[in-house]
Amino acid sequence: MPFPDIDPVLIQIGPFAIRWYALAYIAGLILGWRYVVALTQTPRIWPGAAPVTKLDVDDALLWAALGVIVGGRLGYVLVYNPAYFASHPLEIFYVWQGGMSFHGGAFGVLIAMIFFARSRGIAPLAMTDMVSAAAPIGLLFGRLANFINAELWGRVTDAPWGVIFPNGGPLPRHPSQLYEAALEGILLFFLLRLLTHRFDVLKKPGVVTGLFVAGYGAARTVVEFFREPDQQIGYLLGGWLTMGMVLSIPMVIVGVGLAWHFSNAKPAPAVATKRK
């Protein structure tokens, strides 16, 4: 099927343009923020009082946004295209042109939330658990934006739902962006939602963080079998191993290990004894 006629630019007035890509990040951050607020207002899922206040969540939004942008961009620059950006260093700051690493963005948010939690006297694991529970929302919108931008498309396919992308040649390809939106976004969100609201995993700080890391790594690894590798990198081994797999498989191992460790750890208070 042909690629739908979607303009990546929603509105443009002279040099000023509002792109779907930017709106997707904004929507993901705002909806994720609202979801974390909702978690803090659901007492039954916590071992006692919620570990943060609504004011804490409001203030953490800026930290999360910076973590996504800085981490995502640096991850792409350093891992996926270091040679190009070494020759064009100013383009590192051209984030509106695309080029973000979801691995880098996730790591950036994790670091930002740890520093934020420590600055407020909040147990870091409680903070990262809440952000991890909401992160699939941002992943969903980010992958939809990749599809609208006709980027990060999949390998050639004869499946009836294959899409002929504008820059992907004449043959239909897997809409791997939509596969990722479904797995990393929708499926992972509802799995974590089930665990937080039915199995009380938020009562054991660190478990949700580990499960998110493992879940994202597993979903990304599966989709890598359908996604075309980045042109400047290609396959790392044979015709199947990609950089995405190399980054994602360790996430599954580490995430499962963290979830197992924290699920068997002695209960710890979600809120530090002293708040600043």
The pLDDT > 90 percentage for the chain reads 57
Beta-carbon contacts of 86 under 8 Å, excluding residues fewer than 6 positions away, are none
**pLDDT tens digits along 17-53:** 788 888 888 899 999 999 999 999 999 999 888 889 9
Does residue 275 surpass a pLDDT of 90?
Answer: no
pLDDT at residue number 276: 46
pTM: 0.87
Q: Tell me if 33 is assigned to some domain.
A: yes
Does 143 carry a binding-site annotation?
yes
User: Does residue 2 fall inside a structural domain?
Assistant: no
Answer yes or no: are the C-beta atoms of 79 and 247 closer than 8 Å.
yes
Q: Is the pLDDT of residue 84 over 60?
A: yes
Q: Is residue 236 part of a domain?
A: yes
Number of domains within the chain: 1
Single-letter code of the amino acid located at 134: A
Report, as an integer, the average pLDDT of 192-197. 96
Q: What is the pLDDT of residue 274?
A: 44
Residue 271: inside a domain, yes or no?
Answer: no
Note whether residue 13 is domain-resident: no
| Residue 133 predicted with pLDDT over 60 | yes
Of 75-79, 170-174, 222-226, minimum mean pLDDT range: 75-79
Instruction: State residue 18 phi and psi, 5-degree precision.
Output: -105, 115
Q: What is the pLDDT of the chain when averaged over all its residues?
A: 89
pLDDT tens across 158-169, in order? 999 999 999 889
For residue 168, the number of C-alpha atoms closer than 13 Å in the C-beta half-sphere is 27
Range of the domain at 203: 18-263
CA atoms within 13 A on the CB side of 258: 21
Residue 164: phi, psi to the nearest 5? -90, 100
Residue 36 vs residue 103, higher pLDDT: 36
Helices 54-75 and 20-40, axial angle in degrees (round to 10):
140
Report whether pLDDT(273) > 60.
no
Q: pLDDT at position 96, please?
A: 67
Question: Average pLDDT, stretch 120-140?
Answer: 93
Q: For residue 269, tell me if it sits in a domain.
A: no
**Highest mean pLDDT: which range of 26-30, 84-88, 118-122, 191-195:** 191-195
Q: Residue 41: inside a domain, yes or no?
A: yes
Q: Per-residue pLDDT averaged across 212-236, rounded?
A: 92
pLDDT for 272 beyond 80: no
Residue 120 lies in a domain: yes
In terms of pLDDT, which residue wins out, 64 or 268? 64
